[in-house]
Amino acid sequence: MGHDWDFVTIAQNWGVLWVGLKGTLVIFSVTVVLGLGGGLIVGICRYIRHPVSRWPAMTFIEVFRNTPVLVQIIWFYYAFPILTGIEVDPFLAATLGISLNTMAFSAEIYRAGIQSIEPGQWEAGKAIGMTYSQALRRVILPVAIKRVLPALTNRGIEVFKMSTLASVVAYIETLNQAKLIADLNFNPIESYTVVALIFFVVLYPVVQATYALERTLAKGD
């Protein structure tokens, strides 16, 4: 089963891939910010012992953690417009699916971080007259977030890989463009190998940096 590898065709189509890569970066940037940022808010709501914030947050987390992102994206693209009459383009559908899923997962990470802080820290803040939200902002969150930074980075890496799911609704990103090249040139092997390579080349250094970060943080504690 020998295969004559031909990357020349890929190189000739580099412009097509480049457009996809930019699409990947765009949707990654948006979803990682919404996902990890929104997750902080959901995580705090989940943590606070108040039914008005806690129950909606819990429901949100369970719904989006226990359904596949791929299904969420497809649902937002095909089902949501029919139910609401609101037009949803591929970018929006994929952004919603990936962001909401990431919010749900990272909310649990933030909550675990907050919960890991010793009660004495809350007390110290309270004892100098801080309100609950001042203690949360100034004392608890900075340390909690630092503690879960490795877990958050892992989430970020997942988000980057999840961006390829957007191809299912034909959002123009790397995988989608590779498929275009493969279909036109009948070279799926090279096209999809290059996609895998691109992701590997981007992520490998990031993952190594995460390990280094974990080690530094472990020392700092």
Partner 1 sequence: MTDSVIRIENLHKSFGSLEVLGGIDLDVRAGETVTVLGSSGSGKSTLLRCINFMEMPSEGRIYLHGDLIGTDEGGSVRYSESELCRIRTRIGMVFQHFNLFPHMTVLKNVMEGQVTVLGRRAGAAEAKAREQLERVGLSDKADEYPARLSGGQKQRVAIARALAMDPDVMLFDEVTSALDPELVGEVLRTIRQLADDGMTMLVVTHELGFAYHVANRVLFISDGRILEQGEPRQILREPATRRMQEFLDGHAQFRLPF
Among 115, 131, 208, 216, binds partner 1 (CB under 8 A): 131
| Site membership for partner 1, residue 127 (CB under 8 A) | yes
Q: What is the DSSP string of the chain?
A: -------HHHHHTHHHHHHHHHHHHHHHHHHHHHHHHHHHHHHHHHHSS-HHHHHHHHHHHHHHHSS-HHHHHHIIIIIHHHHH-----HHHHHHHHHHHHHHHHHHHHHHHHHHTS-HHHHHHHHHTT--HHHIIIIIIHHHHHHHTHHHHHHHHHHHHHHGGGGGGGT--SHHHHHHHHHHHHT-HHHHHHHHHHHHHHHHHHHHHHHHHHHHHHHHH-
Q: How far is the CB of 129 from partner 1 (least distance, A)?
A: 4
| Site membership for partner 1, residue 116 (CB under 8 A) | no
| Site membership for partner 1, residue 123 (CB under 8 A) | yes
Q: How far is the CB of 110 from partner 1 (least distance, A)?
A: 16
Among 30, 112, 130, 202, binds partner 1 (CB under 8 A): 130
CA distances from 12 to 15, 22, 181, 198 (A): 8, 18, 10, 16
| Site membership for partner 1, residue 143 (CB under 8 A) | yes
Stretch of 25-33, 64-72, 137-145, 195-203 lying at the interface with partner 1 (CB under 8 A): 137-145
* CA pair distance 207, 119, nearest whole angstrom: 33
| Site membership for partner 1, residue 129 (CB under 8 A) | yes
Q: How far is the CB of 112 from partner 1 (least distance, A)?
A: 18
Count of positions on this chain that bind partner 1 (CB under 8 A)? 18
| Site membership for partner 1, residue 196 (CB under 8 A) | no
Q: How far is the CB of 36 from partner 1 (least distance, A)?
A: 20
Question: Which x/- pattern, by CB under 8 A, does the window 71-110 give for partner 1?
Answer: ----------------------------------------
> Residues interacting with partner 1, by CB under 8 A?
118, 120-121, 123-124, 126-131, 134, 138-139, 142-143, 146, 220
